[in-house]
Amino acid sequence: MLRRLRNMLFDNPSGETAMQAEIRRVTRQLFLNKLLSNAASEMPTATVKGFILLEISVLESELKDKLPRAANVSEQANLTYLLDRIRLYRENPGDFKPAPAPVVPPGQPIGCEDEWPDKK
């Protein structure tokens, strides 16, 4: 299951809009945060933790491979951030704190007036 999620999140689909790419990057961050916080936790069994650690190692290798071939600076920045989070975890797993999840701003999404008509 972890491998399938990783493959879906870290393969770059062609024809993606800038907004879709940003949503994918945020989702990648959330996925990695969950992996790292579970790896740092004492809750998972040894078997589960082994799978999580293996997934982190495979992901780290893939990110290092993708970084020099990133399509644009936003993709490079995201890959660099993800690799840095893995580095921080590896330096001191016991003290690792996952990054807080992004907060959805209040109100209607900008640019979606036609999709969310005002009710009067």
**Mean pLDDT for all residues in the chain:** 83
Angle 26-32-65 from CA coordinates, rounded to 5°: 90
Of the chain, the percentage scoring pLDDT greater than 70 comes to: 84
Q: Would the pLDDT of 102 be above 70?
A: no
Query: Could you read off the pLDDT of 27-86 as tens digits, one per residue?
Result: 899 999 999 999 988 888 999 999 999 999 999 999 999 999 988 899 999 999 999 999
Of 67 and 7, which is predicted with more confidence?
A: 67
Residue 108 confidence class, pLDDT cut points 50, 70, 90: low
Residue 115 is predicted with a pLDDT of 47
The CA distance from 53 to 87, in Å, is: 13
The CA distance from 95 to 114, in Å, is: 47
Residue 62 is predicted with a pLDDT of 93
The CA distance from 96 to 40, in Å, is: 7
